[in-house]
């Protein structure tokens, strides 16, 4: 009999029994926090998983399977020219327009392909932080000066954080650089423009499927018209994806046509049977992803097509459980705020608003901490910060939260830790929080 094992089981039984025995269900704050947790989980599942994460997994799969190691090393590798690597990494955010969780499979993919730590971290930060849509929305709703400050801060942070991380771990990077000098990349399987076309079609599907609602009352801007017709635009890029599947990946046209027809039929059925306009698009997206998975898994012409879906599934298995745990924890502690709904977690929202008033070191630091651990989907940070400003938040802390929040979250940290280890993750998080605090203080003193 293994005594240590039995004692461990006994301790777990005691802990679980104690938690059940003292469960504070009579506490209004506890029950509200449970409601906030369930609300955030439900909203995350409806708004984020299908439209954001699933396409992101397939984009990561493209990088992992179709983008050659030579291409990754050329632009992101330890031997790549710094100006090129950091420029590509920092500019990527304006193209991707993703949140702190959607960037994770993409970051994981280029990291595994041999990207240098500095450029990879710059990419990790820039993806959600330099979201051009969010920056424009910030300038329109909260003022031109805070929009410009957010843009300048996000671009400079992505490069600065990457450079600092590369400097701190320069010995590891030197070893990686020496190893990569001896790597002889395999020749490209297809012209680079074909892989780029396939990749960017998927990116544009992700961008337009998640195009945010315009500001209240805005019914005439370009933003509004793109939002109003976003599913037609997404459908157009879906047709381009079909072209790519047939002429680039060489999948049988009959299979692609059948997949397209099934997806279109599901869209018509969902539109007529599901009244909620937010839920009806989820059906054809899920059907389309399932159809894409099936036709690639059963393709016999090119093993890479099957490997694409298997690789995407690998990213999903690695990332989804950690994200789920992080969303539940964030909802319980910090509550759920979205679409005009605000449910407090164990930490009341009033405490947060009270602590981030003025422009003190503490208020900026606290705003950075809250932003780092709270989960923001793409564009949702703008109305949340707008509400906090109305509740008395200082402009400096508002910028600090805008710089730390979109790029980090508790779910995001859990996945980053698995990709690059506890120490590097801790250093990255600390750098984001410190730089956001300093930027908030400088901006608050100016305005």
Residue 222: its pLDDT value, please?
82
| pLDDT tens digits for range 359-381 | 889 999 999 998 888 877 666 67
Q: Region 204-232: what's the mean pLDDT? A: 82
Cα–Cα–Cα angle for 165, 131, 107, rounded to 5 degrees:
45
pLDDT at 262: 95
Mean of all residue pLDDT scores within the chain = 83
Q: What is the pLDDT of residue 241?
A: 95
pTM: 0.72
Residue 390 lies in a domain: yes
Q: In the prediction, which pLDDT does 145 show?
A: 87
What would the pLDDT profile of 270-315 be if each residue is shown by its tens digit? 988 888 888 888 999 999 999 999 999 998 888 889 999 998 898 7
Q: Is the pLDDT of residue 419 over 70?
A: yes
In a domain, 428, yes or no: yes
Is 258 inside a domain boundary?
no
The pLDDT of residue 94: 61
Indicate the pLDDT class of residue 71, thresholds 50, 70 and 90. low
In this structure, what token pair is assigned to residue 44? 């995350």
Does a structural domain hold residue 9? no
Which three-class secondary structure string do you get for the chain? CCHHHHHHHHHHHHHHHHHHHCCCCCCHHHHHHHHHHHHHHHHHHHHHHHHHHHHHHHHHHHHHHCCCHHHHHHHHECCCCHHHHHHHHHHHHHHHCCCCCCHHHHHHHHHHCCECHHHHHHHHHHHHHCCHHHHHHHHHHHCHHHHHHHHHHHHHHHHHHHHHHHHHCHHHHHHHHHHHHCCCCCCCCCCHHHHHHHHHHHHHHHHHHCCCCCCCCCCCCHHHHHHHCHHHHHHHHHHHHHHHHHHCCCCCHHHHHHHHHHHHHHHHHHHHHCCCCCCCCHHHHHHHHHHHHHHHHCCCCCHHHHHHHHHHHHHHHHHHHHHHHHHHHHHHHHCEEECCEEECCCCCHHHHHHHCCCCCHHHHHHHHHHHHHCCCCCCCHHHHHHHHHHCCCCHHHHHHHHHHCCCCCHHHHHHHHHHHCHHHHHHHHHHHHHHHHHHHHHHHHHC
Q: State what percent of residues in the chain have pLDDT above 70.
A: 87
Torsion sign (Cα): 12, 15, 20, 23 = negative
C-alpha 237/C-alpha 244 separation (Å) is 10
Instruction: Read off the pLDDT band of 386 (50, 70, 90).
Output: low
pLDDT at 77: 67
Total count of domains within the chain: 1
pLDDT grade for 164, boundaries at 50, 70 and 90: very high
Separation CA 273–CA 385 (nearest Å):
36
Q: Is residue 393's pLDDT more than 70?
A: yes
Residue 424: predicted pLDDT:
92
List the one residue out of 341, 413, 343, 426 whose CA is nearest residue 375: 413
Task: Choose between 123 and 335: higher pLDDT.
Answer: 123
Give per-residue pLDDT as tens, 338-364: 776 778 788 776 777 778 777 889 999
- Is there a domain that residue 343 lies in? yes
Q: By the 8 A CB rule, do 27 and 344 touch? A: no
Residue 270 in domain = no
Backbone torsions φ then ψ of 341, nearest 5 degrees:
-100, 135
The answer as to whether 177 is a domain residue is yes
- Domain of 101? 38-181+191-251+299-446
Residue 318's pLDDT is 76
Give a yes or no: residue 163 inside a domain. Answer: yes
């Amino acid at each position: 009999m293994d005594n240590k094992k039995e004692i461990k089981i006994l301790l777990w039984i005691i802990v679980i029994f104690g938690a059940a025995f003292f469960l504070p269900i009579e506490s209004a704050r506890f029950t509200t926090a449970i409601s906030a947790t369930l609300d955030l989980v439900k909203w995350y599942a409806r708004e984020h998983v299908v439209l954001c994460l699933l396409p992101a997994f397939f984009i990561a799969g493209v990088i992992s399977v179709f983008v050659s190691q030579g291409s990754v090393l050329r632009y992101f590798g330890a031997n790549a020219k710094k100006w090129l690597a950091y420029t590509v990494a920092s500019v990527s955010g304006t193209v991707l327009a993703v949140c702190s969780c959607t960037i994770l499979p993409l970051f994981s993919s280029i990291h595994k392909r041999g990207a240098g730590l500095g450029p990879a971290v710059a990419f990790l930060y820039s993806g959600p932080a330099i979201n051009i849509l969010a920056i424009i929305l910030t300038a329109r709703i909260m003022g031109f000066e805070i929009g410009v400050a957010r843009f300048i801060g996000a671009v400079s942070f992505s490069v600065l954080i990457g450079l600092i991380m590369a400097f701190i771990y320069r010995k590891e990077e030197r070893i990686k650089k020496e190893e990569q000098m001896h790597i002889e990349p395999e020749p490209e399987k297809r012209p680079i423009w074909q892989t780029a076309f396939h990749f960017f079609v998927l990116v544009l599907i992700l961008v337009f499927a998640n195009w945010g609602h315009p500001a209240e009352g805005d019914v005439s801007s370009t933003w509004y018209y793109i939002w109003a017709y976003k599913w037609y635009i997404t459908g157009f890029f879906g047709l381009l994806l079909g072209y790519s599947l047939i002429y680039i990946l060489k999948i049988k046209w009959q299979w692609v046509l059948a997949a397209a027809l099934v997806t279109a039929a599901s869209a018509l059925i969902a539109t007529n049977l599901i009244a909620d306009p937010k839920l009806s698009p989820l059906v054809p997206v899920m059907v389309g992803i399932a159809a894409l998975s099936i036709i690639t898994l059963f393709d016999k012409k090119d093993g890479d097509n099957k490997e694409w879906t298997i690789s995407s599934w690998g990213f999903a298995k690695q990332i989804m459980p950690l994200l789920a745990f992080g969303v539940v924890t964030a909802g319980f502690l910090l509550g759920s705020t979205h679409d005009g709904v605000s449910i407090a977690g164990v930490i009341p929202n009033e405490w947060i608003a009270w602590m981030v008033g003025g422009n003190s070191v503490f208020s900026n630091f606290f705003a950075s901490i809250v932003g780092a651990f709270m989960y923001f989907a793409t564009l949702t940070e703008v109305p949340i910060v707008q509400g906090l400003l109305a509740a008395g938040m200082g402009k400096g802390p508002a910028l600090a939260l805008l710089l730390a929040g979109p790029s980090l979250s508790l779910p995001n940290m859990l996945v980053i830790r698995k990709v690059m280890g506890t120490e590097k993750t801790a250093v990255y998080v600390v750098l984001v929080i410190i730089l956001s605090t300093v930027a908030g203080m400088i901006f608050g003193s100016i305005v």
